[in-house]
C-alpha cells in the first residue's frame, strides 16, 4: 500500500459510532480498513502514519463556496485546505463566470469583484474561457497543468445566464430568450455542472419570475441536477420565500438545496422551527430537499447589494449613473431607510449593523473594520452619505458584514437531518468574514465538542456524506473501501477555528493532515506543494 494510517479513530461519515482501525490507502483510494478488533495480519505500506489521538474523517465538502477565481489565483488556497476541505461547490448565488460572452464577462467581473476580485483592469487570472466546459477544463489544468488546491464542482449561475440571454432589464423573458436560457442551462449540465444556482436578491437574476425559474428547473431535473437558490428574502418575507422555492421545485420535479438557509433580522428571531416545519412537511410529501448553513450569525455580501433592485437595473454603469443623480439618490435613500429595499430583504437598513469588510481601492482602507454608522459619526455626516460616497469611490466593489443573525436560529437549523455545511466564504477584503477560514473546525470544535449541539459523528456526517449524496457522488463522503482517499485527520480535543472577526485570516488548529486523492496536501500542519484538485463533473443522465 502507498500509506497505512495506524490505530486511528475512524469517524466514517455515516453518523454511526466511531471505531479504531488501520486504514490503508493505495492509488488514490481507500484500499483496506482493518478494525482493531479483527484478527489476522494488519496492512503494511510504503509509508506509515501513527495516528495516536487523531480521528480520521472523509474530506469536508463546502457546499457553498466563492472560490471561483481563488482556485486559479492561489495554488496554496490555505483558507480551505487547512480546514480539511477537499471539495468546494462554486458558481453560487446565480453569479459566476460561465457561460459568458465578452460583454457579459466584463459585466459580471465588475458586479462580483467584491466577492472574488478579478474586476476589469486586473490581470491576475486569464479569462480565456467562455463556456462551462472550458471553465472546468481551466480548473483541471490549474497551475502549469498540475491541477488546483482542492476539487471543485460547479453550479450554472442563473443570473449570469439571464444576463447573457436577456440583459439587465426588469421584464419577462420573451419565448425566444427563455428558449436560449434553457439551452444554456442544458449545455452547462451536459458539460459537467452539477446543478443551477440563483441569487434572487441580486440583479439581474432576481428579475426572473417563478414561471421562468420553473422552466429552467425542469431542465435541471432532466439532467438529474439540483437547484440551489439564494431566495428572494432572508428577512421580512423569509418564510414566504422558502415556500416559494419549495413549491417551484416541486412543480418542476427538481431537487432543491437551500443556500445559507438562515432566518435573519429581528422579524425572524426564534422562528427557525417554522422553517423546519415547512421543510418537514415537504419532505414527508416526497420532496427532495437539503440545505447548508455556516455556523455564525453575521452574513456577508457587497454594499451595492443593499440597494433596491430597480436601482440596479441596467447593470453597474447604470447603478453609478443613478448614484450620481440627486433625485434618484434621494429615492434610493428613502427606500433603503424607510420602506426596506428588496436588496436588504425588505427590512429598513440599520447602518449600525453594516460593517465594511473590504474595499477595492487601498486609499479607502480607513473604512474597513468599522460600521457605516461609526464611519459617518467620525465624519460628522449621515450614514447614507457615507455609504453613498463609498459606493462611488470604490467602483461598487465594497464588501460588508451584516450583523443581523440569531444564535438560536443557527443552532436549531444545523440540527436538522438534511443540513450540510457551507462556508459562503468570501476571500476578498482586508477583514473578510471568519467563516471563510473557520467554518469546518468551528462546527467540530465549538458546536460539536464545546456546546454539544451535535454529536461529533453526526456533525462529520453533515460535512461529508450528506453533501456527497446531494452531489450524487458515488465514491466520496465516506471512509469506505474503494472510495476516494480524500481524508482529514484531526484532533477532536483541540480542533478549533483560529479565525475571528478581529483576525479573520488565522488558520485553524487541530487539523495536522489532509489528503486529496491519497496525497498529502497538509502534512504535519503544513501546506505541501501538492495540487491534487480537479473539477468534479457529474455525468448527466439525459
* Tens-digit pLDDT profile for residues 501-533: 999 999 999 999 999 999 999 999 999 999 999
User: With b meaning 16 or more CB within 10 Å and e meaning fewer, what string describes 437-452?
Assistant: bbbbbbbbbbbbbeee
Q: Is residue 8 part of a domain?
A: no
542 pLDDT above the threshold of 50? no
Domain of residue 452, CATH code: 3.20.20.140
Give me the count of residues in the chain: 542
Prediction pTM value: 0.95
Q: Is residue 6 part of a domain?
A: no
Residue 468's pLDDT band (cuts 50, 70, 90) = very high
Return d(Cα 405, Cα 413) in angstroms, integer.
Answer: 12
Indicate the DSSP class of residue 474: T
Work out how many domains the chain is built from and give that number: 2
> Residue 224: enclosing H or E segment and its boundaries?
none
10 pLDDT above the threshold of 80? yes
| 292 and 310 housed in the same domain | no
Whether 1 contacts 28, CB under 8 Å: no
Query: How many Cα atoms sit within 13 Å of 6 on the Cβ side?
Result: 10
320 phi, psi to nearest 5 deg: -60, -40
541 pLDDT above the threshold of 80? no
| 98 and 124 housed in the same domain | yes
| 274 and 237 housed in the same domain | yes
540 pLDDT above the threshold of 60? no
Question: Following DSSP, what letter does each residue of 234-301 receive, concatenated?
Answer: SSTTHHHHHHHHHHHHHHHT-EEEETT----SGGGTT-HHHHHHHHHHHHHTT--EEEEE-SSS-EEE
Mean per-residue pLDDT for 385-414? 96
Q: Is residue 459 part of a domain?
A: yes
Whether 419 contacts 448, CB under 8 Å: no
- Convert the pLDDT of each residue in 192-247 to its tens digit: 999 999 999 999 999 999 999 999 999 999 999 999 999 999 999 999 999 999 99
Of 403, 434, 450, the residue that ends a domain is 403
| 519 and 500 housed in the same domain | yes
Return d(Cα 504, Cα 434) in angstroms, integer.
Answer: 4
| 218 and 265 housed in the same domain | yes
Q: Is residue 349 part of a domain?
A: yes
pLDDT of residue 122: 83
| 209 and 287 housed in the same domain | yes
- Convert the pLDDT of each residue in 415-466 to its tens digit: 999 999 999 999 998 899 999 999 999 999 999 999 999 999 999 999 999 9
Q: Is residue 41 part of a domain?
A: no
**Contact partners, residue 466, CB within 8 Å, separation at least 6:** 290, 418, 419, 420, 477
Mean per-residue pLDDT for 341-347? 92
pLDDT of residue 121: 79
Q: Is residue 542 part of a domain?
A: no
317 pLDDT above the threshold of 60? yes
Of 361, 380, 403, the residue that ends a domain is 403
Whether 26 contacts 53, CB under 8 Å: no
Q: Is 269 exposed, middle or buried (0-12, 13-18, 19+ CB in 10 A)?
A: middle
Q: 360 lies in which domain range?
A: 303-403
Residue 539's pLDDT band (cuts 50, 70, 90) = low
| 478 and 367 housed in the same domain | no
Q: Helix, strand or coil for residue 122?
A: coil
**Helix H segments across 357-406?**
372-379, 383-393
Reading phi first (left if > 0) and then psi (alpha if -120 to 50, else beta), residue 302 is in beta
Q: Is residue 343 part of a domain?
A: yes
Of 351, 370, 403, the residue that ends a domain is 403
Q: Is residue 539 part of a domain?
A: no
| 374 and 450 housed in the same domain | no
Residue 279's pLDDT band (cuts 50, 70, 90) = very high
- Convert the pLDDT of each residue in 145-202 to its tens digit: 999 999 999 999 999 999 999 999 999 999 999 999 999 999 999 999 999 999 999 9
Indicate the DSSP class of residue 425: B
Return d(Cα 465, Cα 192) in angstroms, integer.
Answer: 21
pLDDT of residue 429: 86
Closest by CA to 319, choosing from 111, 496, 138, 127, is 111
Sign of CA dihedral 466, 471, 477, 480: positive
| 287 and 325 housed in the same domain | no
Whether 83 contacts 436, CB under 8 Å: no
| 233 and 315 housed in the same domain | no
| 175 and 285 housed in the same domain | yes
| 325 and 413 housed in the same domain | no
Return d(Cα 292, Cα 92) in angstroms, integer.
Answer: 12
Amino acid at each position: 500500500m502507498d500509506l497505512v494510517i495506524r490505530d486511528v479513530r475512524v469517524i466514517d461519515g455515516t453518523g454511526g459510532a466511531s471505531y479504531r482501525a488501520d486504514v490503508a490507502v493505495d492509488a488514490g483510494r481507500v484500499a483496506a480498513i482493518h478494525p482493531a478488533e479483527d484478527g489476522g495480519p494488519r496492512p503494511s505500506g510504503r509509508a506509515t502514519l501513527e495516528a495516536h489521538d487523531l480521528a480520521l474523517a472523509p474530506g469536508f465538502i463546502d457546499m457553498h463556496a466563492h472560490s471561483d477565481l481563488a482556485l486559479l489565483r492561489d495554488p496554496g488556497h490555505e483558507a480551505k485546505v487547512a480546514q480539511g476541505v477537499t471539495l468546494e461547490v462554486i458558481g453560487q448565488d446565480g453569479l459566476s463566470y460561465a457561460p459568458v460572452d465578452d460583454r457579459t464577462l466584463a459585466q459580471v467581473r465588475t458586479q462580483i469583484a467584491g466577492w472574488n476580485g478579478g474586476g476589469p483592469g486586473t490581470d491576475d487570472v486569464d479569462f480565456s474561457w467562455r463556456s462551462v466546459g472550458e471553465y472546468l477544463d481551466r480548473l483541471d489544468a490549474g497551475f502549469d497543468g498540475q491541477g488546483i488546491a482542492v476539487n471543485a464542482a460547479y453550479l450554472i449561475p442563473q443570473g449570469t445566464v439571464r444576463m447573457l440571454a436577456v440583459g439587465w432589464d426588469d421584464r419577462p423573458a420573451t419565448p425566444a430568450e427563455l428558449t436560449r436560457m434553457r439551452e444554456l442551462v442544458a449545455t452547462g449540465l451536459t458539460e459537467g455542472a452539477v446543478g443551477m444556482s440563483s441569487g434572487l436578491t441580486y440583479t439581474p437574476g432576481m428579475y426572473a419570475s417563478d414561471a421562468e425559474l420553473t422552466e429552467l428547473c425542469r431542465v435541471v431535473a432532466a439532467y438529474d441536477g439540483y437547484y440551489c437558490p439564494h431566495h428572494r428574502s432572508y428577512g421580512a418575507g423569509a418564510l414566504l420565500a422558502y415556500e416559494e422555492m419549495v413549491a417551484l421545485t416541486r412543480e418542476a420535479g427538481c431537487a432543491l438545496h437551500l443556500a445559507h438557509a438562515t432566518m435573519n433580522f429581528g422579524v425572524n428571531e426564534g422562528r427557525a422551527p417554522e422553517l423546519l416545519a415547512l421543510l418537514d412537511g415537504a419532505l414527508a410529501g416526497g420532496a427532495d430537499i437539503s440545505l447548508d448553513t455556516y455556523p455564525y450569525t453575521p452574513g456577508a455580501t457587497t454594499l451595492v447589494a443593499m440597494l433596491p433592485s430597480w436601482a440596479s437595473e441596467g447593470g453597474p454603469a447604470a447603478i453609478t449613473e443613478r448614484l450620481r443623480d440627486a433625485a434618484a439618490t434621494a429615492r434610493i435613500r428613502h427606500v433603503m431607510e424607510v420602506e426596506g429595499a428588496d436588496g436588504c430583504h425588505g427590512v429598513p437598513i440599520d447602518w449600525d449593523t453594516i460593517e465594511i469588510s473590504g474595499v477595492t481601492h487601498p486609499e479607502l482602507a480607513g473604512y474597513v473594520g468599522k460600521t457605516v454608522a461609526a464611519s459617518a459619526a467620525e465624519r460628522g455626516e449621515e450614514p447614507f452619505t457615507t455609504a453613498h460616497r463609498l459606493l462611488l469611490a470604490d467602483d461598487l466593489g465594497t464588501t460588508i458584514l451584516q450583523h443581523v443573525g440569531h444564535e438560536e436560529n443557527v443552532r436549531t437549523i444545523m440540527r436538522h437531518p438534511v443540513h450540510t455545511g457551507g462556508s459562503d466564504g468570501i476571500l476578498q477584503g482586508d477583514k473578510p468574514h471568519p467563516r471563510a477560514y473557520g467554518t469546518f473546525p468551528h462546527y467540530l470544535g465549538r458546536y460539536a465538542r464545546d456546546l454539544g449541539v451535535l454529536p461529533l459523528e453526526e456533525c462529520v456526517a453533515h460535512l461529508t456524506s450528506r453533501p456527497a449524496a446531494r452531489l450524487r457522488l458515488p465514491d466520496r463522503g465516506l471512509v469506505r473501501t474503494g472510495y476516494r482517499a480524500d481524508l482529514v485527520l484531526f484532533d477532536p480535543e483541540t480542533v478549533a477555528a483560529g479565525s475571528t472577526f478581529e483576525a479573520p485570516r488565522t488558520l485553524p488548529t487541530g487539523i495536522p493532515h489532509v489528503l486529496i486523492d491519497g496525497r498529502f496536501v497538509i502534512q504535519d500542519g503544513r501546506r505541501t506543494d501538492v495540487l491534487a484538485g480537479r473539477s468534479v463533473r457529474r455525468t448527466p443522465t439525459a
